[in-house]
Amino acid sequence: MQKQRIVLLGPPASGKGTQADLIASAYGIPHVSTGALLRSESSRRTDIGLEADSWISKGLLVPDELVIRIVTTWIEKNGSTFLFDGFPRSVSQAEYLDDFLDSLKAPLDLIIVLELADKEIPRRINDRLSCLQCGATCSGKLDAQVEGAPCPRCRKPLVRRNDDTDEAIERRLEIYRELTMPVVDYYNRTSSELVRRIDAEVGSQSVFTSISKLIS
Ligand code: AMP
């Protein structure tokens, strides 16, 4: 049976957003990026967005309570078919998600961990342009895009994210190791039958082929 509730984990720039978009269009599973939801709040200058931005721009995690509020609202509004990209990012978020989904009798059915060598990460981030409106990302080199060019999906200008700076990247990597890698350990302990590791160093189409075999 096709998987319905998927979590996609991996370090910054491991291709979570790209894979989530490919999965969403191939299988119709909504792509929920907490980073993109927070950036959209921030660009609309809502209270949540302004608070979130003060953490995001420093490369720090937004407090659990705020992210959990956004995720809960999303599920209550849109239902329990989703592909989470960038959530959960801490063990307490993972525990919250398990409890909430238990209460809906709709547990996770796949946890994908994208693996990428540390040295690849700054190289990919420095080449990345993003759309703050729709969450699309492009490679400057591979897609021949420049800052300010229209987003290929929604035509808003592409920008460099304010957390794609050298200092913020270092901090995001430390946080990934400290707070998010324990999420992989948590799932290995509690739901090892759902966890699948995928090498993310190969091209995005090969990664997608491997993921497709897990979803359908
Ligand atoms: P991303 O687009 O997934 O790289 O997320 C960008 C930034 O948004 C992160 O560096 C965090 O500051 C914040 N963020 C996104 N998702 C979460 C989350 N699940 N928990 C806390 N902060 C988050």
**H or E element at residue 35:** helix 34-43
> Is 160 in the active site?
no
Whether residue 114 has pLDDT greater than 80: yes
> Is 128 in the active site?
yes
Whether residue 167 has pLDDT greater than 90: no
Most confident of 96-100, 134-138, 159-163: 96-100
| DSSP line for 53-91 | HHHHTTTPPPPHHHHHHHHHHHHHHH-S-EEEES---SH
Whether 19 is in a domain gets the answer: yes
Whether 150 is in a domain gets the answer: no
State in Å: Cα 62 to ligand 1 middle: 7
Check residue 121 and report its DSSP letter: H
> Is 171 in the active site?
no
| Other Cβ atoms closer than 10 A to 195 | 17
Whether 129 is in a domain gets the answer: no
Question: How far, in Å, CA of 208 to CA of 25, rounded?
Answer: 12
What is the identity of the amino acid at 40? S
- 165 vs 158, more confident: 158
Say which of 3, 16, 39, 124 is annotated catalytic. 16
Which tokens hold the place of 127? 């080449």
The whole-number pLDDT of residue 209 equals 97
State in Å: Cα 1 to ligand 1 middle: 31
The whole-number pLDDT of residue 52 equals 94
The whole-number pLDDT of residue 142 equals 78
Whether residue 34 has pLDDT greater than 80: yes
Whether residue 119 has pLDDT greater than 90: no
Whether residue 144 has pLDDT greater than 80: no
Q: Which pTM was predicted?
A: 0.87
Region 75-102 average pLDDT: 96
Whether 69 is in a domain gets the answer: yes
State in Å: Cα 21 to ligand 1 middle: 17
Ligand 1 binding pocket mutation candidate from 48, 50, 61 (most atoms within 8 A of CB) = 61
Which tokens hold the place of 57? 């721009």
Residues listed for the chain? 216
Q: Which of these, 206, 182, 189, lies nearest to 9 by C-alpha position?
A: 182
The whole-number pLDDT of residue 99 equals 97
Ligand 1 contacts (CB < 6 A) are 12, 33-35, 38, 55-56, 60-62, 67, 86-89, 93, 163, 172
Whether 155 is in a domain gets the answer: no
Which residues are CB-neighbours of 199 under 8 A, at least 6 positions away?
A: 115, 207, 210
Count of structural domains, the chain: 1
109: containing domain: 5-118+167-215
> Is 89 in the active site?
yes
The whole-number pLDDT of residue 134 equals 84
> Is 16 in the active site?
yes
Q: Is 24 left (phi over 0), alpha (psi -120 to 50) or beta?
A: alpha
State in Å: Cα 2 to ligand 1 middle: 27
Domain CATH for 178: 3.40.50.300
Whether residue 136 has pLDDT greater than 90: no
How far, CA to CA in Å, does 69 sit from each of 36, 52, 76? Answer: 15, 12, 11
